[in-house]
Amino acid sequence: MMQFQVKENRVTDLKVAYLGGGSRGWAWGFMKDLAMDGQMEGTVVLYDINRQAAEANKIIGNKISAHPDAKARWSYRVADSLEEALTGADFVVISILPGTFQEMRSDVHEPEQFGIYQSVGDTVGPGGLIRAMRTLPIFAEFARGIAAYCPQAWVINYTNPMTVCVRTLYQVFPKIKAFGCCHEVFGVQETMAAMLNDLRGIQGVRREEIRTNVLGINHFTWIDKASYKGLDLMPIWKEFCEKYAEEGFIENPSENWMNSHFESCQRVKIDLTKRYGIIAAAGDRHLAEFMPPWYLKTPETVKYWKFSLTSVDWREKDLQERLERSRRLVSGGEVIELSPSGEEGHLLMKALLGLGDMVSNVNIPNRGQMPDLPADVVVETNALFRRDEISPVAQGICPETCLP
């Protein structure tokens, strides 16, 4: 069992090991989420092969914890070794970049000379395959360390390729308690909330109020049931698809949104709904990579479907901007503002600590929740989180045409 103190519906003395603790993005959002939740406190131990990045995040994390609006006080420190980070941990968070963007450049762009275009390049296709080969030995090391130093810890993975990363953890340490979190389904729920405003005039819908039945594998997820306060959303979604099939839909677009490397007009998922009858529940950039070259045949094809090829040049530029922001946050040149990340990691931690049950879509081994896929394959479905337990929710049968 996990070692922590529980008093008056509040948990203290937690230890969280953050592997990839030099993260410039995911880590900052997680730190803010922890600071804004008054039901948990403890220590976050940052471990990263880039020690300098972890040291910067230690300063940023402690500043966030000391923010006058923070509801919880967390202490951040840097570990010298994986053993030190993991020993006695109650939770392990994994958020790493395997290799460098320079290495990713060949993964994503070399195949273009053979007519293979990738909009993300981190899950399937040449980019996903090479990234997996680069990542899985690291995850095997993590799994061995968890088995040795914190075998009862809950492990939360954010690293792609999600499915094979989580599966590797279980193959190396079968008794591990690991799951993967991904926000792609959240984006579809937000689109549904906007849809209700657009087609039914229902305003103020929060994406958490959209109930969905999720099935599939990460980045190739599907929704065959969706509702809002008892209202069946499936026929409304099909109406939405008919309305926006040609022009696409984006809520509150900026003037240069087409130059964004992450936005889309939802045309891929709309087209997949029209083809298969259920909702493709991931971003267009990810969905396109699982399909025949309907959407990625050429850059002109991508433009027609109104999404983007995320270049490594852009990723490197974005990294430089994040590095500069890290320096400003450390030096005090930028004031830290507390705002929720929109992720659910800290909420799932609370549920596992016994602070309220919760259902969310997560990536875990198939224990029968998707009987049409092999046992032990890591699938993305809904699951019930409660004290020290995750119970998969049986999702039913995915249409055969939608299986990976």
- The residues annotated as belonging to the active site are 183
Q: Can you spell out the DSSP letters for 236-303?
A: HHHHHHHHHTTT---SS--TTGGG-SS---SHHHHHHHHHHSSEE-S-HHHHHHHSSTTTTSSHHHHH
Helix extents (H) in 113-180: 125-149, 162-172
| Nearest to 131, CA basis, from 144, 141, 120 | 120
Residue 90 near residue 153 (C-beta atoms within 8 A): yes
| Nearest to 171, CA basis, from 183, 161, 163 | 163
Query: Is 160 annotated as a binding-site member?
Result: yes
DSSP type of residue 16: E
Q: Can you spell out the DSSP letters for 333-399?
A: SS-------S--HHHHHHHHTTS--EEEEEEEE-SSSSTTS-TT-EEEEEEEEETTEEEEPP--PPP
Query: Is 62 annotated as a binding-site member?
Result: no
User: Alpha carbon 214 to chain centroid distance?
Assistant: 15
CA triple 343-22-285, angle to 5 deg: 50
Query: Is 402 annotated as a binding-site member?
Result: no
Give the span between the Cα atoms of 321 and 314, in whole angstroms: 11
Q: Which residues are annotated as a binding site for Mn(2+)?
A: 182, 219
Q: Which residues are annotated as a binding site for substrate?
A: 160
Q: Which residues are annotated as a binding site?
A: 160, 182, 219
